[in-house]
Chains A and B, each alone.
Chain A
Amino acid sequence: DAGVIQSPRHEVTEMGQEVTLRCKPISGHNSLFWYRQTMMRGLELLIYFNNNVPIDDSGMPEDRFSAKMPNASFSTLKIQPSEPRDSAVYFCASSRGGHSPLHFGNGTRLTVT
């Protein structure tokens, strides 16, 4: 079992640039979650999908953030344009739903200068 795979592991970009983070969930999992970790706010839920459909995006901080899940094996989180305050570690997680625990990827560390 390969686990949740995120790419890239590290991303350094300049303010104003577009950033795309990628996630491959565990095969057979039908729920996918995007989280952001910062020192100030801890782990925040940004958006989640069930069966590739976005269910709740109320955690997305601004319109600059968007997420897609075109199929069951791939999701992206895009920030356009990026700002220094977006610097954080972004985690993707998947689960079978219900009482199944979330399985997290190793995250993407984003630095916006």
Chain B
Amino acid sequence: DQQVKQNSPSLSVQEGRISILNCDYTNSMFDYFLWYKKYPAEGPTFLISISSIKDKNEDGRFTVFLNKSAKHLSLHIVPSQPGDSAVYFCGSGTGGGADGLTFGKGTHLIIQP
């Protein structure tokens, strides 16, 4: 019973184009959503977050969109760069994330030169 789903195990995008990573959740109590990026042999690192009172948050090349009615969020990376190649985890939580985050299985993003 996965509460957070990332249905694309991998995604290949050409350098310079837009990368769109998707995430769906089932728990309507989730009020905080984050994206993490993970390189091999390292721990996940925080990328960007959004609370349930917003529908968009932007930080440089990264934008997260939240559609609460659809229980869906997405991460847009524009333009995609080779260093963006990594596994991206979507995480969701209650209490602002203080109770721990529930993560999806991750999407492996590959940026093609």
Contacts and interface: CB of A to CB of B under 8 A. Distances in A.
B88 to A, nearest CB: 12
Interface string B26-53: 0000001010100001111110010100
Question: How would you classify the secondary structure of chain B's contact residues: helix, strand, loop or mixed?
Answer: mixed
Contact of B104 (A42, A45, A105): A42
Contact of B97 (A44, A99, A104): A99
Given A4-B43, A43-B44, A107-B43, A48 B103 contact: no
B100 A101 contact: no
Interface of B: 32, 34, 36, 41-46, 49, 51, 89, 91, 95-106
Contacts of A41: 105
A31 B98 contact: yes
A104 B100 CA distance: 12
Contacts of A98: 95-98
Nearest to A35: B103
25 contacts: A31-B98, A42-B89, A42-B103, A42-B105, A43-B44, A43-B91, A43-B103, A43-B105, A45-B101, A48-B99, A50-B98, A91-B44, A98-B96, A99-B32, A99-B49, A100-B97, A101-B46, A101-B49, A102-B91, A102-B97, A103-B46, A104-B36, A105-B43, A106-B41, A106-B43
Interface of A: 4, 31, 33, 35, 41-45, 48, 50, 55-56, 91, 93, 95, 97-107
